[in-house]
Amino acid sequence: MEAQTTQMDEKTVSVASSKRTSSSKHSVASAAAKARAAAEAARTRVTYGQKELELKKQRAKLDLEKATLEADLEALGLEKAAAAANAEAEILEAAARFEYEDIGSVIRSDVSSQVIKQRTEAYLDHQAQTSFSPNTPAPNTLPSPYIKKTQPLTTREAPELSPIHRHDGSPTTPMHTKASAIAPAANMIDFAKYLACRELVTTGLTKFDDQPESFRAWQSSFLNATQDLDLTASEELDLLVKWLGKESSEHIKRMRAVHVTNPEAALQMSWTRLRVLRHP
């Protein structure tokens, strides 16, 4: 009986010892597994941490490039604004010069018909006094340049000398008198033609309304009024600026500014531009 009890105690001790050994092994294995898991997690964190740092570097580089591009764009915008302002200033200066000339032309041309008539009459009176002054014989008293010797002159047939002839003692040469009388007449004709043309240009034209359908009629009227005036390119440009509408006259001013030293080219380009504007 005692022997059985002893065997049972030994078995109990052996089982307990086995349990302790198994529990100890399980604890070690569990700790090892936890350690391996922690190490693996650490390696994973390191790997992804490195990738994250690389991406952050790339993002910082992109941000720097973006900031550089924005700075370059801002500088380019400032340069563009400065260049545009400079070009605008040059065009405005050129337009101001032409505008000043146009104002002078308008002042010269905006003379009333009454003033033109008065100046014409005064000029004609002055020319008449100059042409028929007391020192010039009247046309009906001029002596004949040739006298035939075969026809004896009697007292009745003898020409009566005018007081001017008797005072001078010699008649005035007819050819000289004729030439001096023709010159003022030609001057009066030219002056009268100039005033008539000026009045025609001042009052005989209509202002273009910038409507494409009205351009052909306006162009015909303008050319008919100016075709006999022998205008220079600059004078015709002045008239275009004066009689065109606000929008179309701005195009003419820009053409003059571009071709400031070549008014003929400016005039040709202006008419070309006007014909293009006629068909928008």
83 and 24 in one domain? yes
61 and 28 in one domain? yes
Q: For residue 152, what pLDDT is reported?
A: 45
183 and 213 in one domain? no
Q: Write down the number of H helices and E strands in the chain.
A: 8, 0
233 and 175 in one domain? no
* Residue 145 placed within a domain: no
* Residue 143 placed within a domain: no
DSSP state of 213: G
For residues 137 and 162, the answer to whether their CB atoms sit within 8 Å is: yes
DSSP state of 210: S
Number of residues that make up the chain:
280
* Residue 39 placed within a domain: yes
Instruction: Say how many domains are in the chain.
Output: 3
For residues 171 and 165, the answer to whether their CB atoms sit within 8 Å is: yes
* Residue 150 placed within a domain: no
* Residue 147 placed within a domain: no
64 and 126 in one domain? no
105 and 125 in one domain? no
* Residue 83 placed within a domain: yes
* Residue 250 placed within a domain: yes
Range of the domain at 171: 112-136+161-189
> Which mean pLDDT values do the consecutive 10-residue runs of the chain (280 residues) have?
61 64 75 88 91 91 90 87 78 67 49 59 64 47 43 42 44 46 59 65 76 88 82 88 89 90 92 78
Q: For residue 81, what pLDDT is reported?
A: 82
255 and 180 in one domain? no
* Residue 246 placed within a domain: yes
pTM of the model: 0.35
215 and 170 in one domain? no
Token digits of residue 114: 């009454």
Q: For residue 130, what pLDDT is reported?
A: 58
Domain ends where: 110, 128, 147?
110
Token digits of residue 259: 């071709």
